[in-house]
Amino acid sequence: MIEFEGKVAIVTGGANGMGERVAHTLAERGATVVIADRDGERTPLVEQQIRESGASAHGYVVDVTDEARVAELMKEVSARFGRIDVLDNNAAALELTAEDPDVAALDLAVLTGTLTGNVVGPFLCTKHALPVMLAQGSGSIVNMASVSGMLGETSLSAYGISKAAVIQLTRAVATQYGKQGIRCNAVAPALVMTRNTSEWMPAEFKDIYTRNSMTPYVGDPQDVAEVVAFLASDRARYMTGHVIPVDGGIAAASPIVAERRDLA
């Protein structure tokens, strides 16, 4: 499939997990992919892997919360490749989720750090990619939200607040720039088994998600990459401002479904 031929796609957090899969998927389908990640070891590695597969990738070691660096990145990409067609705002400060309890116990520094990583990063990348997209009269932005930004949880307060803000950023951008050819959507995964989640997550956690999913399994990074690629493409030309759950049906079903299934 070469549907992204001639298109330039920026994937933030593209050196690991879902971003890495998105970078591979868009590159395989013809895009020139820019991996923008703060991970100085894995960014060149993923760039090399994509190039070895015969596709086009360029790694930039960038912290997306640094406005000067983000502005420079967007200028560099547009000068070097001539355009920015896709922005996948995927990077997030996931290291802070380990210190993210209920609201009464939440440290202010964890909240502000989470908002910086998860909201300021996508905001800055969007703000500085938009002038390029507006000048060319087209662009598709895909933000990485989460079911945690749509449903209440017993912990992960800062994370949930930040992902709800990402959903609102999505609607604002879709509303403000739709008539000028820019679409903006979000994807809301539930549990996706990346290298990082597999490392830290207790087995019981995965069991809870599996039990409460309507599918027999939890998510794989490629499940999310497929939806991101669709939203990024012209096949989704009539979709904007929406949040697409990629969650095995968790956000669709009654919260007592797992218990009722056990009873039956």
Ligand X SMILES: NC(=O)c1ccc[n+]([C@@H]2O[C@H](COP(=O)([O-])OP(=O)(O)OC[C@H]3O[C@@H](n4cnc5c(N)ncnc54)[C@H](O)[C@@H]3O)[C@@H](O)[C@H]2O)c1
Query: Does 15 help bind ligand X (rule: CB under 6 A)?
Result: yes
Q: Which is nearer to ligand X, 139 or 149 (CB)?
A: 149
Residues 120-159, interacting with ligand X (CB under 6 A): 121, 144, 146
Q: Is 189 in the site for ligand X (CB under 6 A)?
A: yes
Task: Please state, in angstroms and rounded to a whole number, the distance separating the CA atoms of residues 188 and 213.
Answer: 14
**Would you say 17 and 198 are in contact if contact means Cβ atoms under 8 Å apart?**
no
**19 binds ligand X per the rule CB under 6 A:** yes
59 near ligand X, rule: CB under 6 A: no
159 is known as an active-site residue: yes
Contacts of 212 (CB under 8 A, 6+ apart): 250, 257, 258
Q: How far apart are CA 34 and CA 17, in angstroms?
A: 16
List, in order, residues 6 or more apart from 230 with CB less than 8 Å away.
236
- Say which of 60, 159, 177, 209 is annotated catalytic: 159
- Burial class of residue 83, CB neighbours in 10 A (0-12, 13-18, 19+): middle
Question: If binding is defined by CB under 6 A, does position 88 make contact with ligand X?
Answer: no
* Closest CB to ligand X among residues 121, 139: 121
160 binds ligand X (CB under 6 A): no
59 beta partners: 35
Catalytic residues: 159
| Contact set with ligand X (CB under 6 A) | 12-13, 15-19, 37-39, 62-65, 90-94, 117, 121, 144, 146, 189, 191-192, 194, 196-197
